[in-house]
């Protein structure tokens, strides 16, 4: 039976990625933050480990449990992430920035390094990225910096590990809890928020389910791309 390793599978986009693969007869092994006892027990072939992505020791312990039973995955999808504070850079505290980088970047490095160390086989390892990795916006420093660093990290892994396949994948603007946080931000202080409020009002945001379907349909094309590439689903 085919298998994936997925991070951040409890809500939004990650939840729909999980469901899409389960519906297509994959086993889904997951590192995820939130626990839903009622739902998790009902899902066949779903094997979650609950993780604090801001705690590196905890990540290692839970990942060890997963790879102890698995030496091969078809795909590894690193989706877990947070938006972080939307504030002008001068008001962003160092501890806030560290948390965003820990969760959005360094937790992924821990996972990748162990996967390589333990010689786990996989077709592709895919980081869920964002257009923010390419161009930032007023007040978006922590999130944009984390996604830009993640993109560069994947490029370097690709250059340094030619036996493995690394891709950064920006799925588009999806209507998730992250978008709710953005829309709740004061647009008079963070002007870019207006765009996202308008997209929501006009129903132009992707649903998590549609975005997950697109990712799934793109997997064959993704696996043939040059390792280290950044792709945007909106133009792919």
CATH number at residue 147: 3.40.50.720
Cβ of 61: how many Cβ atoms within 10 Å? 12
Instruction: Please give the C-alpha separations between residue 24 and each of 27, 40, 44, 81, 142, in angstroms, as whole numbers.
Output: 9, 18, 12, 25, 36
> Is residue 191 situated within a structural domain?
no
pLDDT at residue 61, rounded to an integer: 97
Euclidean distance between CA atoms 130 and 171, whole angstroms:
7
> Is residue 163 situated within a structural domain?
yes
Segments forming the whole domain that contains residue 156: 3-174+208-232
> Is residue 222 situated within a structural domain?
yes
> Is residue 88 situated within a structural domain?
yes
pLDDT at residue 228, rounded to an integer: 97
Strand partners, 32: 50
> Is residue 192 situated within a structural domain?
no
Cβ of 107: how many Cβ atoms within 10 Å? 26
Euclidean distance between CA atoms 64 and 219, whole angstroms:
26
Euclidean distance between CA atoms 123 and 222, whole angstroms:
10
Euclidean distance between CA atoms 147 and 12, whole angstroms:
19
Question: How many domains are contained in the chain?
Answer: 1
* Element containing residue 223 per DSSP (H, E): helix 208-223
> Is residue 187 situated within a structural domain?
no
Sequential pLDDT tens for the chain (236 residues) = 899 999 999 999 999 999 999 999 999 999 999 887 666 667 789 999 999 999 999 999 999 999 998 999 999 999 999 999 999 999 999 999 999 999 999 999 999 999 999 999 999 999 999 999 999 999 999 999 999 999 999 999 999 999 999 999 999 999 999 999 999 999 889 998 999 999 999 999 999 999 999 999 999 999 999 999 999 999 98
Euclidean distance between CA atoms 134 and 24, whole angstroms:
33
pLDDT at residue 43, rounded to an integer: 78
pLDDT at residue 40, rounded to an integer: 60
> Is residue 112 situated within a structural domain?
yes
> Is residue 196 situated within a structural domain?
no
């Amino acid at each position: 039976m085919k298998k994936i390793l997925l991070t951040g599978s409890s809500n939004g986009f990650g939840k729909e990625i999980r469901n899409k693969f389960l519906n297509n007869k994959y086993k889904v092994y997951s590192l995820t933050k939130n626990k839903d006892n009622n739902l998790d027990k009902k899902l066949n072939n779903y094997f979650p480990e609950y993780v604090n992505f801001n705690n590196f020791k905890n990540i290692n312990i839970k990942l060890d449990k997963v790879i102890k039973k698995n030496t091969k995955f078809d795909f590894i999808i690193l989706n877990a992430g947070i938006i972080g504070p939307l504030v002008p850079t001068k008001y962003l505290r160092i501890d806030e920035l560290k948390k965003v980088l820990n969760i959005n970047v360094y937790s992924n490095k821990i996972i990748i390094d162990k996967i390589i160390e333990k010689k786990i086989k996989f077709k592709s390892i895919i980081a869920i990225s964002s257009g923010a990795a390419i161009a930032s916006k007023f007040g978006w420093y922590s999130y944009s910096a984390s996604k830009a660093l993640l993109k560069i990290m994947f490029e370097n892994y690709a250059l340094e590990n030619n036996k493995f396949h690394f891709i950064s994948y920006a799925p588009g603007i999806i209507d998730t809890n992250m978008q709710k946080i953005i829309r709740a931000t004061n647009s008079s202080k963070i002007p870019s928020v207006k765009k996202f409020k308008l997209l929501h009002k006009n129903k132009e945001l992707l649903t998590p389910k549609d975005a997950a379907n697109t990712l799934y349909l793109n997997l064959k094309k993704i696996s043939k791309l040059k390792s280290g590439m950044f792709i945007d689903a909106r133009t792919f």
